[in-house]
Structure formats: C-alpha cells, structure tokens
Amino acid sequence: MKKKMFTLWMTGLFLLLTTLGATAQNSGTTGPLNWNYDAGTKTLTITGTGDMPDFNPPADRPWDSFRNRIQTVTIGAGVTTIGEYAFHGCTNLPSITIPNSVTAIGEHAFGNCWTLTSITLPDGLQTIGEAAFSACAMTSITLPESLTTIEKNVFWSCDKLTSITIPNRVTTIGESAFYGCKKLPSITIPNGVTTIGKEAFYQCNTLTSVTIPKSMTTIGVGAFASCWALKSITLPNGVTTIENNTFYDCPSLTSITLPNRVTAIGRSAFAGCVALKSITLPESLTTIGKNVFWNCWTLKSITFPNSVTTIGESAFHGCTGLKDVTVDWKDAGTIPNIPANVFDGITQANVKLHVPHGTVAAYQLEDVWKDFQIIEAVPPTPTLSVTPKTLSFIDAGETKTITVNASAAWTAQCDASWITLSATSGTGNGTITVTAPAYEDEQPRTAKIIFASGALKETVTVTQNPKPGPAFVALDYTELTLPAGASQRLVVTAYPKDADINRNVKWYSSNNDIATVSRDGTVTALAPGRANITVVANVGGQQTACRVRVVPAEQMVSVTSGGDNTLRLALVAPSDADFTLSFDVDLPEGFALDAKKTAPDASLAAGYAVTVTGKRVEMKPNGLRSGGTMEKRNLLTFACTAAPGTSKGSYKAALRNFTFTPTAGYALQNITVPFTFTHTVANQTIDGLRVYAADGALRLTLPTPETVHIYNVVGSLVRTMNASAGDHVLPLSSGMYVVRLGERVTKILIK
C-alpha cells in the first residue's frame, strides 16, 4: 500500500512539474516582440514594436510545438514585418488579419497553411516573399495597390483560388507564382506588367481566358503549359520570342494571335495543342524550334513567311490533319534545308505545297519539300497606286512625299526639268520625295509625274503657284494736273509689304492722245484734256488710278488737292514778269482762314511768300523769273476756325470741300480741298471723321467703329486695330505712313 501511494505521489509530482514547465513555455520574447500562446483559446498573440525575426529552419520558432493547434493569430499594431516561415505549417489556422503596420511578409510565412481560407492584407504592404501563401486554401484574395512584384511561388498550389486582382503597379509576375491554381478561371494582367516568369500559370487547369497587356515583353518557359481550358490568347507586339513549352499541353487552344515582331518560337511551344486549327506566322519569324507543333493533329494549314530560315526537328510531327502548306521562298537559294523528320507521321504526298509562281522546279530538287504535292501559285495581278494624286508647291519652294504601292518594279518620270525626284525607280511599296525650287515668275506652272509598272500607269499633277498678289495698291497721286509736254512719274506701293508687285505691274492710259504712261509709271502730257492712268498688279489683279488733267503749255500754274486741308502746287515761272497768285476761299458761314496756322512746307516757303487776308490767299514768288524749273509736290496747308455756335447745322458732316477760286490769270480752275473738323452747336460737340498727325502721333476721330490698317512707306503692315467710335491717339515713330479706313486711304507724315 505504501509503495502504491508513493507511486501515485511521484506521478502527481511529475504531472505538476510538467504542467508548470509547459506553462512557462507558452510565452516569451522573439527579437523585439513578445509572444503568448493561450492553450484554452488556441490563440497566438504577438505584440511589441519592430520586425519579427526570420525562422529558418521553422523549428527555431518558439511556438513551433503548438503550430498544429493554433487556430487564431493576433498580431499587434506595432509589428512591422512577418518573418520567414513564421506561421508555416499552421494547419488549423482558418483566417488571419495582418495589421496596417506590417510592410513586408517573409518567404514561406504562411506556406502549407492548408485550412487558411481568409487573409486580409494591409494597404501599405510592399513585399510578399517567395511562397508566402503556397498551398493555402483561400478562394480569393485582394492584393494592395502598394505591391510592385508578385514573387515566385507566392500562390503555388493554391488549388481552391478562384479570384485574384493584380494591382496596377505590379511589373513582374514571378516564376510559378500561380502554379497549380487549378480552379482559377480567368485573370487580367494589368498594363504595366512586363514579365511573366517561368511556369507562372502552369497547370491552371480551368483557366479559360487571360488578358495580356501591351506592356508585356517577356513570357517565360512553360508560362501557360497544361492550361487545359485555355481557348484563345492574343500576345502583344512587345513580345519577340515564344519560349520553350509556353503553351505546351493546352488541348482546348483553338486560336492564338502572334505579334508581328516575333522572331523565334521555342521548343514544344505549342506541342499537344490538339484543338489548334490554324495559326498565322508573322513576317518577322526566322526560327521554328524542335517539336513546336508536335501532335497538333487538327492543324489544317500553315503558311511559312520568307523570313523563316530554320525549322527544327519534328516541328510538325503528328500533324495528321495538315492539308495545305504555303511557302514564300522565291529563290532556290533561300529555300531552307530542313531535317528529314520535320513532318514525321504525315503522308506528305496527300498534302499540297503551294509555291510561288515559277519556282516548282526549285522545290522539286529540295529534300523533304519535294515529297509534297507541289502546286504552283497563279501569277499575281499587278497593282500600282500612288498618293497623293496632286501636289501644290508655294513660290518659295518645297519638298513633298509621294507614296507608291506596287506589286512589282516601277519607274517614275517627270515632264518638267524644274522638278527633282529622289528616285526614278523601285520595287514594291516605297516613297519618293519631290522637290520644287523657288519660283520667280508671275503665272502658276505645272508638271506631271508619270509612274509606270508594266502596263499600269499613274499620274501625279504638280502645281507651283507664284507669290500672292497684293491686297491693294496705292499711287502717290490720285489727281494730277500737267501742262502739255510735262512729265510726272507715278509711284505705286503694294500692301502688305510681301505682296509680289516689284517686277509685275502694267500701266494703262484711258486716252493716249491726252496722256501716255511708260512701263515705269512716267506720265507724259500730250494735249489738253483728261485721262485716267491705271496701274494693275499682274499677280492678283489689284488696281488703282490717277485722274490726269492736261492744260495748255502757256498756262503755267497747276493746282490740285493734296489731301485733307492742303493744296498741292506744280508751278513753272511765267515768261513775263513777276506775278502774284491769289485765291478767294469759299468758306461756310461761321468759318474763317486762320492766318497764323496757314503755311507752306519748307520747299514752297523757299520760293514764295504766302499771305492770308480774310478769305484771300496770295502767293508771290521770291525772285523767280522766266526759265525757272518746275516745283513738284509743294504743299500749302490751311487751317480754318469757326466761331463757337455760329456755323450752320448743315455742316455737321465730318468732311466738307472748301472751294479755292483763283483771282489771278494763272490758275486753271477752281480747286476744292477736303476739310475735317469738329465744331460745337448748342453746346453739343459733333465729331467728324479725321485722320491727321500731331505731336508725334497718329490721331483719329471716328464717327463710327472702323477697322484701321497702318502701313509704312515700304508696304509693311505696322498695326491693325478694331477702333471704336471716338478719338484715338496712336504714338508712332517718325516717318510717312499709309492709313486705311475701309475704302479710304490716307498718307500721314509723323514728325
């Protein structure tokens, strides 16, 4: 009995010590973190601040002995990383929420957590290590947008995964990342991903569709191998190589679009794609690897572009459905020398080999190719087209392009020597440039470029236009009085400056018996009478005229209007004694000549004394005698004043012609001069149209809104403005200007 009691006591002591020891091992520290395992709730809690250590091998985990019992893991908000193998093999863990403080999950951290169906990842997570969730049981997972890489094996053998969204910032999908995800039906790879790693989607048996972005450049070996449900796929132009086994054993694949930059298709790339009926090989392709289309027994036809130089062994082994093979090697030297077993398992005599026209004999001499039923292609129908059909060149000269589309050799010829062609012959499609030099003539010139290919011809019409004509032309005289036998050269100005008028104007007289005009615009007075001298721009046809009055030679004084407020005087000294030329000015009631402001210009003042008395103007030569020379373009400027409120309302108009009546025997006619003015009636100011210069500025008084164009004397446009009604002051540098208001053209001198 005592022995039995002792045994029971020892057993109890052992159990107590075991229990105490076990309790002591349920908590502790790991790196900067604290951990505690509650055996009752089967909860592992990790708290503290900082990175969790890596546990490789997994036996280094302090909670390793509880791994198969843990059902809940609580990670504190201060934890910043989850270490390698931290929860690997926790086979009873159904879910986990990772706090926002975590930025990295280590390799294999949750690998082989067979019952893990729910995972919540933080938004700031930047890294998920290799195989971090391999062989887990989740059906879907949302990856945060902060991720840029999906590492290799991350979701390896997650055979219950049906949905996953890849973040837009991801650029790489690693090797075997989704290997064996057998229930994943579709996946969209975002634009920005450039690389899919080796076997990334291997054995995704239910995957029926994949969206590959334009950014993709590399798809690894076996990336979609054994995707049994995959029916079609389009690869973007950035992909240049189809790697080995890429679509190996995809028995549902019926169509695939290869990019036009692919140069090589690797070994067994489409082997076992038993539903593939057709495929288009791009013109860039040079190499077809070994076993590429092995056992694609429903493939009915294949076309080899002439870029292909290598076809590997057994490339079309077992393609028993093949009926037509089309080749495009046109020269015997370019026909590839291929292995004897390329078409193993096929009765080649039952397959038609379509060869280019004129190459049957060459293929009959080539091993393997000669065993087909050789069919010669019908000669192609020749084609030739050119665009554009018309070219138009500016006068300064240009170079333009013509695009030629042709099925054979072609030539180009131009019927004009002034056209330069960059090429006069070519083969197939191409372009040529057409150059026209600068052109100085007046009329448009044309040429034809004839393209020919065999019996086909196309014509391109070329036109080169001269420099545009002026918007308008102006003469320095609009009215001119000359004594018989006198001459005066008219000066024409084109507006705007770049208008083509320098070499090309024509002059006409309405009456050559009265006055003639030379090619340089010199008017010669022949007999008394009137004639219009017209100048016409050859380019554009713009024209203007000067009204010429010819008087008898013995009448020596010619007086014309020189513009607003001025007389223009052409004087020849009489043959007798001194003379006095006087005018009586017919002014409206209330107006009077202002003697202080009426004055001649400098050249006139040098030869004449001018006095104003009331309405009488007198001009007396200062010593001018018989035999004196003609004074041209001398201006006498008048100023009028009106007593406020005294002028008649009928003179409210902006412009009035005041008549100067000659009182001596030397003037030829009454002269009217247009005056612009502002006067006051009953304390109301009436503004008329005025264009004048004062104080170094152009001054405008506009009764209505106008568009104003200002040119300098050489025809350059200085300024354009839309002016409102009222007064405007436009400062301009010193010089002569032409101001155009609608149809009215005025010359102004700014001092």
Q: Which two tokens stand for residue 56?
A: 């490789």
Bigger pLDDT: 631 vs 673: 673
Give CATH for domain 690-750: 2.60.40.3080
Ranking 322-326, 431-435, 579-583, 699-703 by mean pLDDT, the lowest is 579-583
Q: For residue 32, is the peptide bond before it cis, meaning its omega torsion is within 30 degrees of 0?
A: no
Q: DSSP strand E in 430-499: where?
A: 430-436, 445-453, 456-464, 472-475, 479-483, 487-489, 492-495
Task: Tell me the three state secondary structure of residue 362.
Answer: helix
136 phi, psi to nearest 5 deg? -95, 170
pTM above 0.85, yes or no: no
- Report yes or no: 443 and 504 within 8 Å, Cβ to Cβ: no
In whole angstroms, what is the distance from residue 693 CA to residue 710 CA? 13
* CATH 2.60.40.1080 holds for 472-551: yes
The residues near 59 (Cβ < 8 Å, ≥ 6 apart) are none
Give CATH for domain 231-379: 3.80.10.10
Would you state the pLDDT for residue 604? 64
| Residues in the chain, overall count | 751
Q: Please tell me what DSSP assigns to residue 53.
A: P
Reported confidence tier of residue 486, pLDDT bands at 50, 70, 90: confident
Candidates 562, 572, 559, 564; CA nearest to 607 is: 572
Q: How many CA atoms lie within 13 A of 242 on its CB side?
A: 37
Q: pLDDT digit string (tens) for 348-395?
A: 999 999 999 999 999 999 999 999 999 998 887 889 999 999 999 988
| DSSP output for 630-679 | PEEEEEEE--EEE-TTTS-GGG-SSEEEEEEEE-STT--S-EEEEEE-EE
- Report yes or no: 375 and 445 within 8 Å, Cβ to Cβ: no
Q: pLDDT digit string (tens) for 274-310?
A: 999 989 999 999 999 999 999 999 999 999 999 999 9
557-687 shares the fold of 472-551: yes
Enumerate the domain spans of the chain.
231-379, 386-464, 472-551, 557-687, 690-750
Candidates 405, 432, 406; CA nearest to 420 is: 432
User: Mean pLDDT over residues 26-44, rounded?
Assistant: 95
Q: Specify which residues 684 forms β-bridges with.
A: 681
The CATH fold assigned to 557-687 is Immunoglobulin-like (2.60.40)
Reported confidence tier of residue 9, pLDDT bands at 50, 70, 90: very low
Candidates 150, 148, 135, 129; CA nearest to 56 is: 129
Bigger pLDDT: 558 vs 196: 196
Q: pLDDT digit string (tens) for 528-544?
A: 999 999 988 776 678 88
- Report yes or no: 533 and 526 within 8 Å, Cβ to Cβ: no
Can you say how many angstroms the Cα of residue 58 is from the centroid of all Cα atoms in its chain?
Answer: 60
- Report yes or no: 285 and 262 within 8 Å, Cβ to Cβ: yes
* CATH 3.40.190.10 holds for 386-464: no
